[in-house]
């Protein structure tokens, strides 16, 4: 009896300890933030000197910054010495994460182009392993795609070789040969489904390599894009067809005959899900599933457009043409911001989460910093020569890594400062367990947006604003122009030849259209 | 040599330590949330559809009366007890959660017209067609004493009874308004204005010396109990059946009118009602406020129970059943969660005040999810697709047709007035508020 009693007591103690441990852990998690703050206070002075690429601020951001400022004042006791940049880094510090950076010591080194070997030497072991090279010479130039969370990578060789793996742990999910020409690969909403644009159709595979669906109607697809919030797979055809397929229901949301020939340059705007296509006359057109024609047409180059990329904030588009120019346009006003001369037209462009632009020219990859904010010519931040001519570039979402698919395989390059340090797990969680992933999928399906909601303007935001009696004011400031200024504008317009066929997309729920300013 | 730092994450910071911990969910205020308004809109659509799916307000029916139920009386201290008086003179005390009757007593010969309880909950008064006022004792379990503690014989039929919220005073209405002290057998004070008879009287819960009364000459009278003369009188086009004071605002009261509308008045300015609540298609028989003071429930001759917000002109909810006939009396429970209705077919029904609400103790996540849904509906409720789903209610054919007809007549009269105005001298056809049109006048 006494033994039992003592064992019971032990059990109680165990339970108590477990509880203590649990609360301790919980406390540690929360206290960690504060501790790290204290630690990093010393480093604050160092960070002041670094340049911080902050994405274009929108109103909510500004308000948030104000709130943060007020909160910081309370916590710090109103420490004015902390710069705005250091204050904004507070959220990254909460997890001990700060965005990568390169700090040049003297002015002359500012122009030097960093090489991967320099970076690998300077950085810790775990980060150094992020630079690796896969030599796959037999199966042609490789198309790549990173998962939304940045954990998983799929490679598709032109001659049919397909491989999907978790590139951080180097765990291979599947490797097989599709026995057909593969033109593009894309992860769908989860890391369990991937789509390959093969000659005979779009094939959807499991991450184990099992063929799940064959969409034979989508044949001769050259490019694919995935719109995660609408669950739409956008395919651009050799024959000029733009197809939207709803991946959750398996239905065709739209099939648009563009009539503009071979569509081999495509990208999408992550902020409003509008698809951009680049064409041979040097024009860039924008498409939504509900309109039959392009929603917007821009003349960007005097020669065929070879690559397109849209900023993560949705405000800027970088275009490159065969005329060896790299141009950055503001998407809201469709005005050119800057023009850079390149040695040759970039075959692939990609923006990182923090605004770095990567451009691929034959075998050379160049990364530019602050392209959107500068009107003058920028010199590259990083440069790298790959083993073969580059087919596709893509920045990895939450890491300082640039993936390059080329003729001779795949290379992963370290680009300090390209990845977003803060993760919001409610949006996308790279460290999700299976259960979390499944729950997230359910939530994504419940919140799935309809293709009719895609448009250039955010009508829900406009109409849900408090002042409903007043029509929503457009974001662009309306200036009253004098005669000279008007003439100048006309001249500029002729030069850029921007045709804004700003058709008001048909919105079936848009009963309040009369409230909107025309 | 430049200083290089690469973003490096420790997975331990993002993964939970033991199986017993909750998962870590790192949040970031600076992260991008594309399509957040669109996603919220879709979530609101889902929330509103779920609201309609779970809108099942009927809880149960209490049956035991052998004649139509006339009056309901809320027990002042117990949420579980309810008193009801029927047209055959029987008073039953009910235990609401158990849906059983605890006591039955044959109180009067003829209708039981009014019932009111003392604030302690130990005794209550009833008046009936037999010109008597009886005082009954009731205990915590709801057992009514077999014989009345006191019986007062009067000269006229007493049409309604209400008890003071604080003192030992009650008021009855009949040919005139009588204020009684519990210990006396003669009324303390009698009010009368003209020769009319009064059929409904109610004490103000906040300014406890104020009384409101509805008289047969289509007027509403206001009395101050301490004074000797009535305060004011407002005359409407049709008779008021019942009035109810707002428990949160001392000077507001709502009257249920024969013309199918309810009028909310501010006592201080009776020249025009604050609000006119339109949705019943026949006379409104009874009205009762929610303890929150933000909404009230009304029962009508058209067999409907409607819940109105105080500031809106139309109802937010309508309850009906095929089996429920003319609603004589409605009450909003003291915890603002339930509505109790008494109708002609001898049944008392219990309803939820918020039809889609989940009763009982909710888990914190459930509560949070429901609060989130409510917030979304508030934010995006004006979008047409969402409003259409939210407003959708099924209503019996006779009511549907009557409402349609009502709408058509309203539109027609508006059109006629506009044409009159267009074809007459400017200013000769003034714009008169609909609310004002229903009033006849105000008398000091």
CATH number assigned to the domain comprising residue B98: 2.130.10.10
A114 touches A102 (CB < 8 A): yes
- Do B96 and B216 lie in a common domain? yes
CB atoms within 10 A of CB A80: 7
Smallest CA–CA separation between A312 and chain B, in Å? 9
Give how far Cα B95 sits from Cα of A208, A248, A511, B84, B321, Å: 63, 52, 50, 11, 23
Residue B426 lies in a domain: no
What does the block give as tokens for B314? 């139309």
- Do B46 and B93 lie in a common domain? no
- Do B187 and B216 lie in a common domain? yes
pLDDT of residue A59: 52
Report phi then psi at B272, rounded to 5: -145, 140
Nearest to B23 among A96, A423, A436 (CB): A436
Report ipTM (2 d.p.): 0.83
What does the block give as tokens for B150? 């006191």
- Whether A18 sits inside 8 A of B20 (CB atoms) is yes
Which chain B residues have a beta carbon less than 8 Å from that of A273? 35
**Dist. CA A93–CA A404, nearest whole Å:** 30
- Whether A425 sits inside 8 A of B25 (CB atoms) is yes
A187 touches A147 (CB < 8 A): yes
- Give how many domains chain B has, as a whole number: 2
**Dist. CA B177–CA B198, nearest whole Å:** 7
- Do B228 and B115 lie in a common domain? yes
Nearest chain A residue to B18, by CA: A22
Helix B384-391 and helix B364-380: axis angle, to 10°?
120
**Dist. CA A80–CA B38, nearest whole Å:** 39
pLDDT of residue B434: 84
- Do B282 and B270 lie in a common domain? yes
**What is residue B182's DSSP assignment?**
T
Nearest chain B residue to A95, by CA: B13
Q: Is B86 exposed, middle or buried (0-12, 13-18, 19+ CB in 10 A)?
A: buried
Smallest CA–CA separation between A423 and chain B, in Å? 6
More confident residue, B192 or B275: B275
Domain that holds residue B241: 58-359
pLDDT of residue A68: 73
- Do B46 and B167 lie in a common domain? no
**What is residue B133's DSSP assignment?**
E
B145 touches B107 (CB < 8 A): no
Nearest to B5 among A104, A416, A429 (CB): A416
> A with B: how many residue pairs have Cβ under 8 Å apart?
161
Which of B1, B2, B6 to probe by mutation at the A interface, max A CB count within 10 Å?
Answer: B6
Nearest to B384 among A99, A429, A511 (CB): A511
Mean pLDDT computed over every residue of chain B = 92
Question: Strand ranges (DSSP E) for A217-282?
Answer: 221-227, 232-237, 241-246, 251-257, 265-268, 275-278
Question: Per-residue confidence at B432, pLDDT binned at 50, 70, 90?
Answer: confident
Each residue's pLDDT, cut to its tens digit, for chain A (518 residues) gives 454 555 556 666 666 666 555 555 545 444 444 444 444 444 444 433 333 444 444 556 677 777 777 776 666 554 554 444 444 433 444 555 677 877 766 665 555 567 888 888 888 888 889 999 999 999 989 999 999 999 999 999 999 999 999 999 999 999 999 999 999 999 999 999 999 999 999 999 999 999 999 999 998 999 999 999 999 999 999 999 999 999 999 999 999 999 999 999 999 999 999 999 999 999 999 999 999 999 999 999 999 999 999 999 999 999 999 999 999 999 988 889 888 888 888 999 999 999 899 999 999 999 998 888 877 767 788 899 998 999 999 999 999 999 999 999 999 999 998 998 888 989 999 999 999 999 999 999 999 999 999 998 887 887 776 544 444 455 555 455 556 666 666 666 666 554 444 445 555 555 555 555 54
HSE (CB half, 13 Å, CA atoms) of A325? 16
**Dist. CA A416–CA A382, nearest whole Å:** 9
Residue of B231, B234, B144 whose CA lies nearest to B438 = B234
Residue B241 lies in a domain: yes
Smallest CA–CA separation between A358 and chain B, in Å? 17
pLDDT of residue A75: 60
Smallest CA–CA separation between B29 and chain A, in Å? 8
> With an 8 Å Cβ cutoff, is B24 touching chain A?
yes
Give how far Cα A105 sits from Cα of A50, A112, A128, A366, A367, Å: 11, 11, 22, 22, 20
Which of B35, B375, B389 to probe by mutation at the A interface, max A CB count within 10 Å?
Answer: B35
Which chain B residues have a beta carbon less than 8 Å from that of A421? 7
pLDDT of residue B386: 94
Smallest CA–CA separation between A449 and chain B, in Å? 7
- Do B172 and B271 lie in a common domain? yes
> With an 8 Å Cβ cutoff, is B39 touching chain A?
yes
**Dist. CA B207–CA B210, nearest whole Å:** 6
The CA-to-CA distance between both ends of chain B, in Å, stands at 95
pLDDT of residue A508: 57
Which chain B residues have a beta carbon less than 8 Å from that of A509? 383-385
What does the block give as tokens for A209? 């390599």
- What 3-state DSSP class applies to A45? helix
CA angle B312, B318, B320 (to 5 degrees): 160
Residue of A139, A214, A204 whose CA lies nearest to A177 = A139
- Do B272 and B322 lie in a common domain? yes
- Do B51 and B200 lie in a common domain? no
Looking at chain B, the whole-number percentage of residues with pLDDT higher than 90 is 80
**Dist. CA A259–CA B225, nearest whole Å:** 86
**What is residue B237's DSSP assignment?**
S
Which chain B residues have a beta carbon less than 8 Å from that of A424? 26-28, 31, 33
Residue B397 lies in a domain: no
> With an 8 Å Cβ cutoff, is B440 touching chain A?
no
Cα-to-chain-centroid distance, residue B98: 23
pLDDT of residue A192: 95
């Amino acid at each position: 009896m006494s033994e039992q009693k003592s064992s019971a007591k032990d059990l109680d103690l165990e339970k108590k300890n477990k509880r203590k441990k649990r609360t301790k852990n919980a406390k540690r998690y929360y206290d960690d933030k504060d501790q790290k703050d204290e630690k990093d206070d010393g480093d604050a002075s160092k960070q002041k000197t670094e340049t911080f690429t902050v994405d274009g601020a929108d109103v909510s951001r500004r308000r948030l910054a104000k709130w943060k400022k007020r909160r910081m004042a309370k916590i710090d006791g109103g420490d004015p010495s902390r710069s705005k940049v250091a204050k904004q880094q507070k959220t990254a510090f909460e997890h001990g994460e700060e965005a990568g950076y390169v700090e040049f010591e003297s002015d002359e080194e500012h122009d030097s182009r960093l090489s991967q070997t320099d970076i690998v030497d300077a950085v810790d072991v775990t980060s150094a392993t992020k630079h690796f090279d896969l030599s796959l010479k037999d199966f042609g130039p490789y198309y790549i795609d990173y998962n939304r969370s940045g954990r998983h990578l799929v490679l598709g060789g032109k001659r049919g070789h397909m491989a999907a793996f978790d590139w951080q742990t180097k765990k291979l999910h599947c490797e097989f040969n599709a026995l057909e020409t593969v033109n593009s690969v894309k992860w769908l909403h989860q890391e369990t489904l991937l789509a390959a644009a093969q000659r005979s159709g779009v094939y959807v595979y499991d991450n184990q390599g099992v063929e799940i669906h064959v969409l034979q109607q989508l044949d001769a697809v050259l490019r694919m894009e995935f719109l995660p919030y609408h669950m739409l797979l956008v395919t651009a055809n050799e024959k000029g067809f733009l197809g939207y397929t709803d991946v959750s229901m398996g239905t065709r949301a739209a099939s648009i005959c563009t009539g503009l020939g071979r569509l081999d340059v495509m990208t999408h705007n992550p902020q409003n899900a509008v698809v951009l296509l680049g064409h041979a006359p040097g024009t860039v057109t924008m498409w939504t599933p509900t309109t039959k024609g392009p929603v917007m047409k821009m003349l960007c180059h005097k020669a065929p457009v070879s690559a397109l990329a849209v900023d993560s904030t949705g405000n800027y588009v970088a275009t490159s043409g065969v005329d060896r120019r790299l141009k950055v346009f503001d998407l809201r006003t469709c005005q050119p911001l800057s023009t850079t001369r390149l040695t040759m037209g970039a075959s692939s462009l990609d923006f990182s989460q923090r605004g770095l632009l990567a451009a691929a020219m034959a075998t050379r990859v160049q990364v530019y910093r602050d392209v959107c904010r500068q009107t003058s010519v920028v010199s590259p931040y990083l440069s790298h020569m790959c083993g073969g001519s580059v087919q596709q570039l893509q920045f990895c979402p939450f890491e300082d890594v640039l993936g390059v698919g080329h003729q001779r395989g795949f290379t992963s390059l370290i680009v300090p400062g390209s990845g977003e340090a803060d993760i919001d797990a409610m949006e996308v969680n790279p460290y999700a367990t299976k259960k979390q992933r499944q729950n997230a999928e359910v939530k994504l399906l419940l919140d799935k947006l309809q293709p009719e909601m895609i448009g250039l303007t955010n009508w829900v935001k406009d109409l849900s604003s408090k002042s409903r009696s007043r029509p929503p004011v457009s974001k662009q400031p309306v200036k009253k122009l004098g005669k000279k200024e008007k003439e100048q504008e006309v001249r500029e317009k002729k030069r850029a030849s921007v045709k804004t066929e700003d058709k008001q997309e048909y919105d079936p729920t848009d009963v309040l259209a009369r409230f909107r300013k025309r | 040599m430049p200083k290089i730092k690469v973003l490096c994450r420790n997975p331990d910071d993002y993964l939970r330590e033991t199986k017993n911990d909750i998962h870590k969910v790192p949040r970031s205020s600076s992260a991008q949330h594309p399509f957040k308004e669109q996603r919220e809109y879709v979530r609101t659509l889902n929330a509103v559809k779920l609201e309609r799916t779970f809108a099942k307000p009927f809880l149960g029916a209490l049956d035991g009366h052998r004649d139509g139920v006339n009056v309901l009386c809320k027990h002042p201290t117990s949420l579980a007890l309810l008193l009801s008086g029927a047209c055959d003179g029987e008073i039953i005390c009910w235990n609401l959660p158990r849906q059983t009757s605890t006591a039955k007593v044959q109180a009067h010969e003829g209708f039981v017209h009014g019932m009111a309880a003392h604030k302690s909950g130990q005794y209550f008064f009833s008046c009936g067609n037999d010109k008597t006022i009886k005082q009954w004792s009731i205990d915590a379990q709801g057992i009514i004493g077999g014989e009345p503690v006191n019986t007062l014989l009067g000269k006229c039929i007493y049409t309604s009874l209400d008890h003071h919220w604080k003192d030992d005073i009650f008021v009855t209405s009949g040919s005139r308004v009588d204020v009684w002290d519990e210990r006396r057998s003669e009324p303390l004070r009698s009010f009368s204005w003209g020769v009319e008879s009064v059929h409904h009287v109610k004490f103000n819960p906040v300014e406890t010396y104020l009384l409101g009364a509805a008289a047969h000459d289509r007027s509403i009278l206001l009395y101050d109990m301490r004074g000797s003369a009535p305060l004011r009188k407002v005359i409407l086009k049709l008779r008021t059946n019942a009035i109810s004071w707002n428990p949160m605002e001392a000077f507001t009261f709502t009257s249920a009118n024969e013309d199918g509308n309810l009028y909310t008045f501010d006592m201080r300015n009776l020249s025009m009602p604050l609000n006119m609540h339109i949705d019943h298609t026949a006379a409104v028989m009874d009205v009762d406020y929610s303890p929150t003071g933000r909404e009230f429930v009304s029962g009508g001759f058209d067999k409907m129970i409607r819940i109105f917000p105080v500031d809106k002109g139309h109802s937010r909810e309508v309850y009906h059943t095929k089996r429920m006939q003319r609603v004589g009396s409605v009450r909003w429970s003291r915890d603002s969660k339930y509505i109790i209705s008494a109708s002609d077919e001898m049944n008392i029904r219990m309803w939820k005040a918020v039809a889609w609400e989940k009763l009982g103790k909710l888990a914190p996540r459930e509560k949070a999810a429901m609060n989130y849904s409510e917030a979304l509906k508030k934010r995006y409720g004006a979008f047409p697709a969402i409003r259409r789903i939210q407003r959708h209610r099924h209503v019996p054919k006779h009511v549907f047709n009557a409402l349609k007809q009502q709408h058509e007549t309203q539109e027609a009269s508006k059109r006629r007035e506009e044409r009159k105005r267009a074809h007459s001298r400017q200013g000769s056809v003034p714009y008169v508020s609909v609310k004002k049109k229903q009033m006849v006048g105000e008398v000091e």
